């Protein structure tokens, strides 16, 4: 299973988190509060979110933390 959640700081800036607790690869649809460019601070990769979600594949015991850029 992949745990997914959103967080906001006191200024209203969002973060989207996904954690794969499985020993298997997991393909998920990760939803975002709004579109635009988001950076995964774990990998440094920036993705364009359109339509409110990204299709992602997570390796075993991996994580992602996305912040808007």
What was the pLDDT predicted at 30?
A: 97
pLDDT in tens, 10-52: 999 999 999 999 999 999 999 999 999 999 999 999 999 998 9
* pLDDT at residue 1, rounded to an integer: 86
Say yes or no to pLDDT of 4 above 90. yes
Torsion region of 33: left, alpha or beta (phi above 0 gives left; psi -120 to 50 gives alpha)? alpha
Q: What percent of the chain has pLDDT over 90?
A: 97
Q: Is 68 exposed, middle or buried (0-12, 13-18, 19+ CB in 10 A)?
A: middle
Report the Cα–Cα distance between both ends of the chain, in Å, rounded: 28
């Amino acid at each position: 299973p992949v745990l997914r959640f959103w967080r906001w700081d006191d200024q209203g800036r969002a973060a989207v988190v996904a954690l794969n607790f499985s020993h298997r690869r997991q393909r998920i649809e990760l939803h975002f509060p709004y579109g635009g460019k988001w950076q995964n601070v774990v990998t440094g990769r920036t993705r364009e979110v359109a339509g409110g979600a990204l299709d992602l594949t997570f390796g075993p015991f991996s994580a992602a933390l996305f912040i808007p850029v």
